[in-house]
């Protein structure tokens, strides 16, 4: 589980939490970080994510959530 305090890091541009055996849902607050340019959460055990996270690529943010446990997603 990612700590909610990450949401206070408003200048955070790169966040790579890949391959850490993290579980739960990817917090929406991370996907709302105003300076985020790259968010990699691949190869964990996340079971869901908020719609805001799925919009990141359309906002120019590199977002990789492959190889998790999110139902209905390819490469899960």
pLDDT digits (tens, 9 = 90+) for 9-39: 999 999 999 999 999 999 999 999 999 999 9
- Mean pLDDT over residues 37-43, rounded? 97
DSSP codes of every residue in 13-76: -EEE-TTS--EEEE-HHHHT-TT--EEE--SSEEEEE-HHHHTGGGGT-EEE--SS--TT-TT-
Between 10 and 4, the higher pLDDT residue: 10
Short-list 18, 27, 32, CA closest to 67: 18
């Amino acid at each position: 589980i990612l700590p909610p305090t990450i949401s206070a890091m408003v200048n955070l541009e790169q966040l790579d939490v890949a391959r850490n055996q993290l579980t739960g849902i990817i917090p929406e607050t991370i996907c709302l970080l105003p300076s985020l340019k790259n968010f990699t959460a691949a190869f964990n055990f996340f079971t869901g994510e908020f719609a805001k996270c799925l919009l990141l690529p359309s906002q120019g943010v590199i977002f990789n959530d492959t190889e998790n446990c999110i139902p209905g997603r390819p490469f899960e």
